[in-house]
Chains A and B, each alone.
Chain A
Amino acid sequence: MLSPELSNQPEPIAVFLFLTIVGLVLVLSWYFAKKARSAAGYFAAGGSIHWMVNGVAFAGDYLSAASFLGICGMIAFYGYDGFLYSIGYLAGWIVAMFVVAEPMKRLGKYTFADALDAKFNSKGIQLAAAVSTLIVSMCYLIPQMVGAGTLVEPLLGLPHFVGVLIVGGVVIVIVSTAGMTSTTYVQFIKGGLLIVFSVVLVMLVLVKGFTAPDLATIDAAVDKGNITIADMSFTVTSSYNAENINRTFVVLEKNSEKTVWQLMEDEGKPIIREVPFQMTTAQGETFSRIFATGFVSKIVQDGKVVKETGSLDPLSYLRTFMGSIIAPPAKISYDADGSHYTVWFHNEQPGSQLLQPGASNKFKLDPDKGATPQSILNFISLMLALFFGTAALPHILIRYYTVPSPKDARKSTIVAIAGIGFFYILTLFMGLGAMSGGVINVLDSNSAAPLLAKSFNTVIFAIISAIAFATVLGTVSGLIVASSGAIAHDLADRYLGLKINDKTKVIIGKAAAVGVGLLAIVLGILFQGMNVSFLVGWAFSVAASANLPAILMLLFWKKTTKLGITVSIFVGIALSLAIILLSPDMYAVYGLNPDTALIQLSQPAIISVPMSFLTLIIVSLFTQKQKGTLEKV
Chain B
Amino acid sequence: MAHGKSTDWGADKAIGFKTRIGIILFAVYGTVYMLFILINAINPKMMGLESLFGLNLAIVYGFGLIILAFLMGITYSIICTMKENFMNKPGSEEIK
Contacts and interface: CB of A to CB of B under 8 A. Distances in A.
Interface of A: 39-40, 44, 46-48, 80, 83-84, 86-87, 90-91, 93-95, 97-99, 102-103, 105-110, 114, 117, 121, 315, 318-319, 322, 352-353, 355-358, 365-366, 376, 379-380, 383-384, 387, 401, 404-407, 410-411, 413-414, 417-418, 421, 424-425, 428, 493-494, 500-502, 505, 556
A425 B58 contact: no
Interface string B26-53: 1001100100110011001101100001
A493 B65 contact: no
B80 interface: yes
B58 A387 contact: no
Of the listed residues B19, B36, B37, the one surrounded by the most CB atoms of chain A closer than 10 A to its CB is B37
Contacts of B63: 425
B17 to A, nearest CB: 12
A352 B41 contact: no
25 contacts: A44-B6, A84-B62, A86-B62, A87-B36, A90-B66, A94-B29, A97-B73, A98-B22, A98-B26, A98-B76, A106-B5, A109-B6, A315-B53, A352-B56, A356-B45, A356-B56, A357-B40, A357-B58, A379-B40, A380-B37, A405-B9, A407-B81, A410-B76, A493-B1, A556-B23
A493 B2 CA distance: 10
B7 A47 contact: yes
B40 A410 contact: no
Given A380-B41, A387-B33, A421-B66, A99 B54 contact: no
Contacts of A414: 70, 73-74, 77
Contact of B48 (A97, A356, A407, A428): A356
Contacts of A376: 41
Contacts of B94: none
Interface residues of B, number: 47
A98 B74 contact: no
B90 interface: no
Contacts of A421: 66-67, 69-70
A91 B48 contact: no
Interface of B: 1, 3-7, 9, 12, 15, 18-19, 22-23, 25-26, 29-30, 33, 36-37, 40-41, 44-45, 47-48, 53-56, 58-59, 62-63, 65-67, 69-70, 72-74, 76-77, 80-81, 84
Contact of B59 (A47, A108, A318, A410): A318
